[in-house]
Amino acid sequence: MSIAPYASLPCSRCVARESTLCASLADDDMHRLYGLATGQRFEAGGLLLRQEGPADHVFSLRSGHANVFRLTADGKRQILAFLFPGDFVGFTSEDNYHYGVAAITPVEACRFERTRLELLIEEFPRMDRKLRFTLTRAMDASFELLFTLGRKDALQKVASFLWYISYRQRKLGQPDNPVHLPMRRADIADFMGLTVETVSRALSLLKQMKAIRLRSAYEVEIVDTDRLRSLAIIVAEPAPWLHEDPDYYPHKD
């Protein structure tokens, strides 16, 4: 069987190529991962994963945004994370997902059967190391989130959120200003543990303090980066720009 050249694969033009599991494979090996993928599209509000559903699949976002959420028995929602192009979701040690994933905007994603993907990861040690590195970084980010939710006031929380979204845009190779907010105010509130009204008041106050300018409901211009960072009590970025270990960010010859 002939192997399609790398340049003919959609992977060569995908933003996820430089992140997470895809980045750990050389170009000549990408057909192995691509062969496991099933392309799927979700409209805004569509569910990629259902809470308590069988943990059979892993998704890698090619485009669009999604949120990871959990529902309580009485229907209350807590958003646990926001997903960007290049992010993956679905790995768990449990037989069922204890969270759901919903598209915020139209999403295009690669879906992988978890068992088949795990076999491929065993075959390529770099994939295993990159996965462990990514999951460890996610754990560090969750600690930072706990600090943000537990020890910061509403203004500091919203300032932190804007700074984080700006950081994620930069990591995707996009301009970090203005900040694009594909999520609704209610999503931000559920993520920060605030009310919609409190989020709106905090944004208005940041505007009055001349740290930001509200261009629209979905676009915020950072006017004073140092001021915003100070208000958010940002000590360091969530992750380094480049890890020194080439096994995590291998060179592609």
In the chain the domains, ranked by start, together with CATH numbers, are 6-139 (2.60.120.10), 153-232 (1.10.10.10)
Mean pLDDT value of segment 196-211: 97
Q: What sign results for the dihedral spanned by CA atoms 239, 107, 163, 76?
A: negative
Give the C-alpha separation, 235 to 229, whole Å: 8
Radius of gyration of the chain from Cα atoms?
19
pLDDT at residue 248 above 80?
no
Instruction: Give me the phi and psi of 246, to 5 degrees please.
Output: -65, -15
Mean pLDDT value of segment 201-226: 96
pLDDT at residue 243 above 50?
no
Give the C-alpha separation, 230 to 224, whole Å: 10
Q: What is the pTM of this model?
A: 0.86
Reported as a single tens digit per residue, the pLDDT across 109-123 is 999 999 999 999 999
Reported as a single tens digit per residue, the pLDDT across 34-68 is 999 999 999 999 999 999 999 999 999 999 999 99
Helix (H, G, I), strand (E, B) or coil at 181: coil
Across all residues in the chain, what is the average pLDDT? 87
Instruction: Give me the phi and psi of 2, to 5 degrees please.
Output: -75, 150
